[in-house]
Amino acid sequence: MSIIEKINENITKYIVGLKDLLKLLNIALLTRGHILIEGPPGVGKTMTAKLFAQSIGGTFKRIQMVPDILPSDIIGTYYFDMNKSEWILRKGPIFSNVVLVDELNRAPPRTQAAFLEAMQERSVTIEGNTMDLPEPFIVLATQVPVGTEGTFPLTPVQVDRFAYYYSVSYPAHEEEMKIISRIDSIEDASLNPIVTPEEIMKVQDEIAWVFVSERVKKYIVDLVNFIRSQNEVLMGPSPRASIWLYKGSRALAYIEGKEFVSPDHVKAISKYVLLKRIMLKPEYEVEGLTSMDIIKRALESVEVPKV
């Protein structure tokens, strides 16, 4: 049984549904990416993230964003210890393997920016001292609907730091029946690690051995460039979109036990990578056009290579 299969089997003892989110968590873990999540409260985001962290033998921290939260509340700060007569570092919750940031867009821009270095460089700088974050390291951030009172919209630069985007919906009727039937065990859920961080980092390195042909690489870049060229698009995906399509499809192929990436792997990961990286012109948004419409158009129009 592979590491990913072990993780999934462990988590699904308690989590009902959310299979796509769990798959995306595995992809993010293997590619060292981060996930931006949207959806209603109470659908299992926090529990899934917590059990995921426990399964990989890592630490988990949940940070609730509020308008007056400071960067030091996230990354940490130095304080003077009167007994020792020295400055001591108090590390913030960002020093964890899996960090769930609830309602990221409730934090002011200055605090939102505190995540940029952590997510990109996998390190933080406190009082001029740069410190590495633990490995593996994943940020899962949720956001409330844009325009809600007391929110600060994420900038395109911040959104672009997230490798993947996932929208959580309410559970199906049968799934919700299972949830309420098993709620007593779910609320007390706690898992023992079934893999170690060292094993995960080894697998992360193995992903590089999954073969991606020049035709598939061209297909990835053609998809991104097609979207950029559309008249309805105000701002298209950055080169990071191509990078995460490449990394994500490679991880998906690995999870499926394949030695090479096919166009189907690229298609399967495309909406998670591209959806939040497309900014439409206002006049087309008013008419009801969505980013998903543009992605579907690209998948239907760009020639699929034979591999």
Domain end, chosen from 178, 199, 220, is at 199
In this structure, are 184 and 258 located in the same domain?
no
Query: Does position 246 have pLDDT exceeding 70, yes or no?
Result: yes
pLDDT the model gives residue 7: 83
pLDDT the model gives residue 117: 84
pLDDT the model gives residue 262: 95
pLDDT the model gives residue 1: 59
From residue 42, how far is each of 38, 45, 164, 231 by CA, in Å?
Answer: 12, 8, 21, 39
Least confident residue range of 32-36, 104-108, 192-196, 265-269: 192-196
The CATH code of the domain that includes 269 is 1.10.8.80
Write out the two tokens for 231. 């008249």
Give residue for tokens 């007593």.
184
DSSP-based three-state secondary structure for 67: coil
pLDDT the model gives residue 57: 79
In this structure, are 188 and 250 located in the same domain?
no
Nearest CA-CA partner of 228 in 153, 156, 295: 295
Residue 306 located in a structural domain: no
Distance CA 145, CA 128 (A): 35
Average pLDDT over all residues of the chain: 87
- Phi and psi at residue 219, to the nearest 5°: -60, -40
Residue 205 located in a structural domain: no
In this structure, are 155 and 135 located in the same domain?
yes
Give residue for tokens 């409260």.
41
Give residue for tokens 């940031």.
101
In this structure, are 170 and 265 located in the same domain?
no
In this structure, are 116 and 176 located in the same domain?
yes
In this structure, are 279 and 221 located in the same domain?
yes
| Predicted confidence (pLDDT) per residue in 77-124, tens digit | 888 778 877 888 889 999 998 888 988 888 888 888 888 888 988 999
Residue 91 located in a structural domain: yes
Cβ–Cβ < 8 Å for 241, 196: no
Domain end, chosen from 170, 199, 228, is at 199
Query: Does position 150 have pLDDT exceeding 80, yes or no?
Result: no
Distance CA 217, CA 258 (A): 17
pLDDT the model gives residue 18: 81
pTM of structure: 0.89
Write out the two tokens for 287. 């008419």
Question: Count of alpha carbons within 13 Å of 142, Cβ hemisphere only?
Answer: 22
Q: What domain range is 288 assigned to?
A: 210-301
| Predicted confidence (pLDDT) per residue in 2-17, tens digit | 778 888 888 888 877 7
Write out the two tokens for 208. 């590089």
In this structure, are 230 and 194 located in the same domain?
no
Domain count, the chain: 2
The CATH code of the domain that includes 36 is 3.40.50.300
Residue 245 located in a structural domain: yes
Q: Amino acid letter at 53? A: A
